[in-house]
Amino acid sequence: MGAGVAPEDQLDRTQTRRVLGRVLRMAYPFRRTAYVALGCVVVTTAATLAAPILVRHGIDAGIRAGDFFELNLSVGLYLAITALAYGFGRLQYVFLNRTGEAFLRELRLKVFAALQRQSMAFYDRNKAGVLVARMTADIETMGELIQWGLLQFLASGFLVVLAFVVLFSLSWQLTLVVLIVFPVIVIASVKFQRDSNTAYLSVRERVGQNLGTLQEGIAAVRVIQAYAQEDHQIKRFERSNRSLFDSHVRSIRISTWYFGLVEFSGVFAASLVVGVGGWLVHRDTVSLGTVVAFILLLSSLFDPVQQLSQLYNGVQSAAAALHKLYAILDHKPEVDEAADAIDLPARGELIVQGVTFKYQAGTQPALQSAELIVADGERIALVGPTGAGKSTLAKLMARLYDPTVGSVSYGGVDLRQATLASLRQRIVVVPQEGFLFNGTIRENVRLARVTASDAEVEPRCRVSAFSITSSGCPKASTPKCASAAAVCRPANVSSWRSAVRHSLTRPCWCSMRQLPTLILAPRQKSRLRSNA
């Protein structure tokens, strides 16, 4: 019951089929392990069902006939089958997870690569949090299914089908008796699955709201105390907390009747089998062993239906997650490499010709008929008031966006015709924000050229006039940027980080690359100039 699917996320039949088709295609490289896993599941399930049949044989041919050999044979076979079930039971976990994890790894890499291929415009449109959630929460939803649910889902499915086959071959009359109760369980399970999904979603929403109130109450505790409003806030929290409790109780009610019904149906079916079966035994239509086998098999029939209904939500939310992921995989980047792309020449003029650019269709253009020629080796400064389009022009010159009208070319090659690798090698924009990546300072500086040696990194950092020791962070030799918070006192960290951001990384990046073309955002210029 761990997952729930919002109505808007539920897929219709064609969507489900499409998602399923793509999963199979993507899993194709791992088909061998998948087949082995499925084989193991079938063998294990069959072994589970074989047990009651052996008991039946032991009773009818052994005990009731007084035949010790037949009884011992049943016992021996039962032991053998249990050993078999254990062996294949272990293998089914191993292979199913191998397949699943290989698939997930593939999916993670593919989606991440697709994200990285997307243009800046894509990132402008989509919130960072949502994109991160795709790569994390959505894929983890599937991970959970693979780790816990998939095996049970498959095994339960097999079990129901095989159990019916076995029951039918044992006695069609008693199978009909079971079929009186079975639909009740199925219908109840379907209803339960729907209701519990709704209830789960409402609980989840309340949990979120309650956490929000809780968090607010803690974060704002100074304001609350300053205005002596503790009591009012406590009442406010109680309201939200009680409403969470109410929605919990509603969801408990839904499961209460269901589990009661399930338990009743199981025993009720047994009572029918005993009654009708006993009558059939008296008429010599079935054997006593068959009746016993039926009683023992009933749980193999009813339990899987329960499990299926509980796993169904998990499967559904995994499908919904996959659907969203495929949407990213399918999204064609606005700025993409042409099929016949060529490398940019090593040096050349950067020419902006008649460029008009709109961030969104129908809005005011950010640039209009811009013309600019930057000669090889020339340094130019772009000056203008806020909103004049300086940054926009810079982004277009590095092909973070494509112009709406006009063209940008380098060494005579239109940027749209250039390979992206050579483009990034020749033209670099150092953005205004000095974003720091997790890792050591050295790794951050090296970001621009991974192959750089330590000997190359350090002198360049010196050029950027940044001295770590002056920042007041005690362990300064190669502190980790992310763990710096643990090393430095909080007050220092922010200043330390911003110091690193502003004076270290960007200039370092710049000098790390022997770049023909470099575009700098405004703020760092003064510092760079002084070091030039």
Partner 1 sequence: MTGAPLDPDAAAAAKGEAEEQARIQRSLGWHLLWRTLQEQKRALIWGVAIGITWTAAKVAVPQLTKSAIDQGIERNGPLLAWSVFIGVAGLATGLLTAGRRYLAFRESRWTETLLRERIFAHIQRLHVAYHDKSQTGQLMSRASSDLQQVQQFVVMIPITLSNLGQLFAVTLILALTDWRLAVVALAPLPFINVASRRFSSRIHPAVLEVQNEQAQLASVVEESVSGVRVVKGLGTENVQFEKLRQEADDIRRVSLRAASIRSRFLPAIDLLPSLGLIAVLGYGGHRVINGDMSIGDLVAFNVYLTMLVWPLRNIGMMVALGQRAAAALVRVHEVLSTQPAVRSPEKPRSLPARAGEAAGAVQFESVHFGYDSEREILRGFDLAIAPGESVALVGATGAGKSTIVRLLLRFYDVTSGRIMIDGVDLRRLDLGELRRNVGVVFEDTFLFNDSVRNNIAFAKPDADQSVVEHAARLAGAHDFITQLPDGYNTQIGERGYSLSGGQRQRVAIARAIVADPRVLVLDDATSAVDPSKEHEIRDAMRTVMAGRTTIVIAHRPGTIALADRIVLLDEGVVAAVGQHRDLVESSERYREVLAAWAVRDAVPAGGD
Report the site for partner 1 in 265-324 (rule: CB under 8 A): 265-268, 270-272, 274-275, 277-279, 281-282, 288, 291-292, 295-296, 299
Q: Report the residue from 31, 125, 242, 347 that binds partner 1 according to the rule CB under 8 A.
A: 242
Binding flag, residue 2, partner 1 (CB under 8 A): no
Q: Report the residue from 223, 338, 342, 373 that binds partner 1 according to the rule CB under 8 A.
A: 223
202, 203, 208, 214: CA torsion to nearest 10: 130
Half-sphere exposure of 468 (CA within 13 A, CB side): 17
Residue recorded with tokens 């294949």: 88
Distance CA 266, CA 270 (A): 6
Closer to partner 1 by Cβ: residue 224 or 393: 224
Closer to partner 1 by Cβ: residue 91 or 372: 91
Q: Report 149-178 residues binding partner 1 (CB under 8 A).
A: none
292, 294, 300, 303: CA torsion to nearest 10: -100
Q: What residues contact 102, with CB distance under 8 A and at least 6 apart?
A: 29, 30, 33
Closest CA to 352 of 300, 398, 295: 398
| Contacts with partner 1, 412-441, as mask; x by CB under 8 A | --------xx-xxx--xxxxxxxx-xx---
Binding flag, residue 525, partner 1 (CB under 8 A): no
How many chain residues are in contact with partner 1, going by CB under 8 A? 137
Closest CA to 359 of 329, 327, 331, 400: 400
Q: In the bound complex, what is the minimum distance in angstroms from residue 24's beta carbon to partner 1?
A: 20
Q: In the bound complex, what is the minimum distance in angstroms from residue 468's beta carbon to partner 1?
A: 17
Residue recorded with tokens 């950092």: 461
Assigned token pair, 231: 């009591």
Binding flag, residue 522, partner 1 (CB under 8 A): no
Within 10 Å of residue 408's Cβ, how many Cβ atoms?
Answer: 23
Q: Report the residue from 37, 167, 244, 484 that binds partner 1 according to the rule CB under 8 A.
A: 244
Closer to partner 1 by Cβ: residue 20 or 211: 211
Judge whether 345 and 515 are in contact, CB under 8 Å.
no
Binding flag, residue 257, partner 1 (CB under 8 A): yes
Q: In the bound complex, what is the minimum distance in angstroms from residue 235's beta carbon to partner 1?
A: 9
Q: In the bound complex, what is the minimum distance in angstroms from residue 232's beta carbon to partner 1?
A: 5
Distance CA 9, CA 317 (A): 8
Residue 43 identity (one-letter amino acid)? V
Q: In the bound complex, what is the minimum distance in angstroms from residue 177's beta carbon to partner 1?
A: 11
Beta bridge partners of 357: 367
Binding flag, residue 186, partner 1 (CB under 8 A): no
Binding flag, residue 259, partner 1 (CB under 8 A): yes
Judge whether 53 and 293 are in contact, CB under 8 Å.
yes
Q: In the bound complex, what is the minimum distance in angstroms from residue 64's beta carbon to partner 1?
A: 7
Tally of residues, the chain: 532
Binding flag, residue 108, partner 1 (CB under 8 A): yes
Closer to partner 1 by Cβ: residue 93 or 168: 93
Q: Report 40-99 residues binding partner 1 (CB under 8 A).
A: 44, 51, 54-55, 58-59, 62-64, 66, 68, 71-72, 74-75, 78-79, 82, 85-86, 89-91, 93-94, 97-98
Q: What residues contact 375, with CB distance under 8 A and at least 6 apart?
A: 349
Task: Categorise residue 11: left if φ over 0, alpha if ψ from -120 to 50, beta otherwise.
Answer: beta
Q: Report 345-404 residues binding partner 1 (CB under 8 A).
A: 398, 400
Binding flag, residue 135, partner 1 (CB under 8 A): yes
Q: In the bound complex, what is the minimum distance in angstroms from residue 121's beta carbon to partner 1?
A: 11
